Amino acid sequence: MNINRKISPVISELSVPTLLSYTRETFANGTEVIWVHDPNQEVFKMDITFDAGAYYQPQPLTASATINMLNEGTKRHSSSQIAEIFDYYGAYTDFNSGMHKAEVNLFSMNKFAGETIPVVAELITESTIPANELEIYLRNKLQQFRIEKQKTAWLARKEMYRVMFGTRHPYGNQISEQDYTRITPELIRQFYTARILSGKSRIILSGNITETIRKRVQESFAISNRPVNDLPEPEHVFEPVKPGRYHIEKADAVQTSIRIGKKGVGLADKDYAGFLLLNTVLGGYFGSRLMSNIREEKGYTYGIQSFNVSLPLTAYWGISTDVDNKHTRAAIDEILKEIEKIRQEPIPSDELNRVKSFFYGDLLREIDGVFSQADSLKQKLIYGKDNRFYIDIIDRVKHCTPDELQELAQRYLDPAELYIVTAGKTI
């Protein structure tokens, strides 16, 4: 077959993505279960989420230490025995703590569901939080912390969180070495009892959800007597400082980390789709304006990106890059020029159509297959939505015009509202 590489392939209009249906039920003990079924899979994934993220912790590191200690020992198995069980059955487990949610993940073959699901239930309901394992975990994490805090990227990120959210709000993510010494087994056990053992939980199962899997989940999670958690919702206050320029000096740094940010647009906001598209034009993909200018034309950096992060209580938008110390001022000036340009000039139609095509493809990757759709559903449920959200986003983006995006840029990318943080050596 002869291919004329001088002729570009035809770009077809994106079709509406196919979304898998899901069902949900609530067990008598309050555990919510969601099933996303795909009969073409030989494996399944189980995600169990809790309201046990950093937002709910009494002091820094409590939430992450608690969720990561679940597989370090139960009333029936040691950490090594737990690892051997999952290894024997070819299963994979993961433990993560975010800002609002903490979760346990299991990947397993369907035929071993009867062996793996009960062990995960055991980790959640019978964890003992061994003191020696906690000590090892904290020692390792402290060593990682000491390494990370020497990096300009870490310093700039920490300062950006401080100026945008304040030092006392969990979103500020202010952690010190002393916090590692303040964690005790008693504190972790208390948080575990309140937020994991007795807290609200949701199970999302995806893959080929057979009757055997349903039965094992029912047996393992529905019959447990979960005490009611009546803990009040924490109240934290945002304490941002005045927008402006902030610098963290690091005299031995060979490069400077630049972080520029401000309040962003939340997932539930009517402008969310348009703002995501606008952000993609500016710095959201490899062919963006920031990449073309700062990397390709000026050669100041290997990479630069802009992003919008939606959280349950707010949203923030930012730009991040790392440059040679001598290019710091010039890089910031060029970034601000690009922001001002997108505010003052409508995006050309050919550029906008190209970015829309990329944006569509990126959205489709987020929901490509049953496991990706389950992950997306897990996040959207936090905002009271489901994956039909993507249909709405695609429709909104399809009808975005250059004038509408310019209006969004003028409304949301005001230079007077920017925090400009640098960490590195002053030249």
Extract the tokens encoding 103. 């979760």
Element (H, E) at 49: strand 43-50
pLDDT computed for residue 6 by the predictor: 75
Give CA separation, 291 vs 144, 259, 304, 360, 379, in Å: 31, 15, 6, 20, 29
Cβ neighbours for 291, distance < 8 A, ≥ 6 positions apart: 283, 285, 303, 304, 305
Instruction: Please name the amino acid found at residue 31.
Output: T
Phi, psi of 382 (to 5 degrees): -60, -30
Give the model confidence (pLDDT) of 256-304 as tens digits.
Answer: 999 999 999 999 999 999 999 999 999 999 999 999 999 999 999 999 9
Residue whose C-alpha is closest to residue 69's, from 132, 133, 119, 126: 133
**Tally: H helices and E strands in the chain:** 15, 11
pLDDT computed for residue 5 by the predictor: 76
Instruction: Please name the amino acid found at residue 186.
Output: E
d(CA 297, CA 285): 16
pLDDT computed for residue 138 by the predictor: 97
Extract the tokens encoding 335. 């970034």
- For residue 217, the cross-strand partners are none
Starting at the earlier edge strand, list the strands of the sheet with 255-263. 244-249, 419-424, 255-263, 315-324, 304-310
d(CA 308, CA 285): 13
Give the model confidence (pLDDT) of 187-229 as tens digits.
Answer: 999 999 999 988 788 999 999 999 999 999 999 988 665 555 6
**Strand-pair category, 244-249 with 419-424:** parallel
pLDDT computed for residue 74 by the predictor: 96
Looking at residue 369, what DSSP letter applies? S
Neighbours of 175 (CB within 10 A): 15
Q: What is the DSSP string of 144-211?
A: HHHHHTTSHHHHHHHHHHHHHH-SSSGGG----HHHHHS--HHHHHHHIIIIIISS-EEEEEEES--H
Cβ neighbours for 399, distance < 8 A, ≥ 6 positions apart: none
d(CA 47, CA 374): 9
């299991």: which residue's tokens?
106
- Same-fold call for 22-222 versus 244-424: yes
Identify the segments of the chain with pLDDT beneath 50. none
What kind of architecture, by CATH, is found in domain 22-222?
A: 2-Layer Sandwich (3.30)
**Considering only the top CATH level, what class is 244-424?**
alpha beta
Extract the tokens encoding 315. 């949203």
pLDDT computed for residue 224 by the predictor: 63
pLDDT computed for residue 15 by the predictor: 67
- Range 237-276 burial, b when 16+ CB lie within 10 A, else e: eeeeeebeebebebeebebbbbbbbbbbbbbeeebbbbbb
Element (H, E) at 402: helix 402-412
Residue whose C-alpha is closest to residue 215's, from 114, 86, 89, 109: 114
Distance of CA 142 to the CA centre of its chain: 23
What are the sequence ranges of the domains in the chain? 22-222, 244-424
d(CA 86, CA 93): 8
pLDDT computed for residue 227 by the predictor: 55
């807290």: which residue's tokens?
199
